[in-house]
């Protein structure tokens, strides 16, 4: 039975650490997923939507810390009982999503590994069985080092994870698993390969006259796109820094646009306030959230290939000023 306990411990710990890490490097992605769960079409608890990001951060930290603590053997009883609780929540949510076809991708592995709703549910069934094995055999979960060392490993890990969370929220994800990552070609990502849906399926740009200009932008030799999925939620101070970048890009003969899903009146107000000299294009809000985890953010393209991405906090790095 000891070998079964060791195997269950390793599988659960590694799964939780991996799952937590791929979300830790992109907590806004998890926050958007929480917003989807809280929406009227799913759990109908929209009053929690403003708290989606704190919920996401707490869940991510809990998930990865439980994995670390189980791995090193720190506070095994508390750890295993916490795993039981969190797995019961995960099991319900994934069953609900799969059975009612509400959230097709729960985001349990972020954007790194995509599973269907039912695959995610069955994965959680296996995990909760392993967690109950650990619950029955908790006395056999011993620290891998001295108690003092595993305590400090756990505490040090928590501090590192907190710093990573802060860093990626101020800047951008440390690892970009999305189809708009640097080096990816957007037109290639929009192509169908057999019956497999393309990774990019809702990138559609429309000017104020209602004309589609997607191809025009993607075929430009040099394009700089300011991404602001929702102008009312944008960090307004970011447009001061972006103003300098867009002016320099225009001087360097870039095609420059602001991409947003907001109404044109909102953009005209910001355009006037910050004296922006670029036009706006409409794009799907979800697509813009996928492109970059900053509102506003900056995307640089060369013939449709992503050559650079920056949060507005790093706008001074775009042209090395």
List C-alpha distances in Å: 234 to 110, 140, 255, 262: 23, 51, 22, 11
Looking at residue 14, its pLDDT comes to 94
Torsion of CA 91, 105, 309, 250, to 10 degrees: -140
Residue 208, preceding bond cis, omega within 30 degrees? Answer: no
Looking at residue 124, its pLDDT comes to 87
Looking at residue 98, its pLDDT comes to 79
Specify the length of the chain in residues: 321
CA 260 – CA 90 distance, rounded (Å): 33
Unique residue bearing structure tokens 């989606």: 52
CA 118 – CA 232 distance, rounded (Å): 36
Strands 255-260 and 223-227: parallel
User: Phi first, then psi: what are they for 196, rounded to 5°?
Assistant: -75, 125
Looking at residue 109, its pLDDT comes to 62
| pLDDT per residue rounded down to tens, the chain (321 residues) | 688 888 999 999 999 999 999 999 999 988 888 888 888 777 788 888 899 999 999 999 999 999 999 999 999 999 999 999 999 988 888 888 777 777 666 566 656 667 777 888 888 899 999 999 999 888 888 898 898 999 999 999 999 999 999 999 999 998 888 899 999 999 999 987 777 788 888 899 999 888 999 999 999 999 999 999 999 989 888 898 899 999 999 999 999 999 999 988 999 999 999 999 999 999 999 999 999 999 999 999 999 999 999 999 999 999 875
Domain range list for the chain:
2-170, 186-317
Question: Are 186 and 305 spatial neighbours (Cβ–Cβ below 8 Å)?
Answer: yes
Looking at residue 198, its pLDDT comes to 87
CA 117 – CA 33 distance, rounded (Å): 13
Instruction: Please tell me whether the overall predicted TM-score, pTM, comes out greater than 0.85 for this model.
Output: yes
Q: Which fold has domain 186-317?
A: Glutaredoxin (3.40.30)
């Amino acid at each position: 039975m000891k070998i079964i306990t060791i195997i269950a411990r390793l599988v659960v710990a590694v799964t939780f650490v991996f799952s937590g890490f791929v979300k830790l490097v992109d907590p806004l992605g998890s926050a958007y997923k929480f917003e989807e769960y809280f929406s009227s079409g799913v759990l109908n608890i929209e009053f929690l939507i403003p708290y989606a990001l704190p919920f996401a951060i707490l869940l991510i930290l809990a998930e990865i810390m439980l994995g670390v603590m189980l791995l090193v053997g720190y506070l095994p009883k508390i750890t295993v009982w916490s795993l039981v609780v969190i797995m019961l929540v995960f099991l319900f949510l994934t069953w609900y999503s799969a059975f009612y076809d509400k959230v097709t991708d729960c985001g349990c592995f972020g954007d790194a590994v995509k599973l269907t709703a039912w695959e995610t549910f069955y994965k959680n069934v296996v995990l909760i069985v392993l967690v109950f094995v650990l619950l029955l055999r908790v006395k056999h979960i011993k620290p891998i080092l001295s108690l003092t060392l595993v305590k400090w490993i756990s505490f040090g890990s928590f501090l590192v994870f907190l710093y990573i969370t802060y860093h990626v929220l101020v800047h951008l994800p440390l690892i970009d698993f999305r189809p708009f990552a640097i080096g990816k070609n957007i037109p290639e990502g929009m192509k169908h390969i057999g019956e497999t849906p393309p990774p990019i399926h809702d990138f559609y740009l429309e000017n104020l006259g209602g004309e589609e200009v997607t191809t025009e932008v993607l075929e430009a030799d040099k394009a700089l796109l300011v991404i602001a999925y929702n102008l009312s939620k944008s960090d307004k101070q970011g447009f001061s820094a972006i103003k300098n970048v867009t002016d320099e890009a225009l001087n360097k003969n870039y095609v420059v646009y602001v991409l947003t899903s907001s109404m044109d009146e909102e953009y005209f107000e910001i355009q006037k306030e910050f004296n922006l000299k670029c036009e706006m294009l409409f794009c799907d809000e979800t697509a813009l959230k996928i492109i970059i985890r900053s509102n506003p953010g900056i995307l640089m393209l060369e013939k449709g290939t992503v050559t650079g991405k920056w949060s507005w906090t790093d706008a001074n790095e775009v042209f090395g000023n």
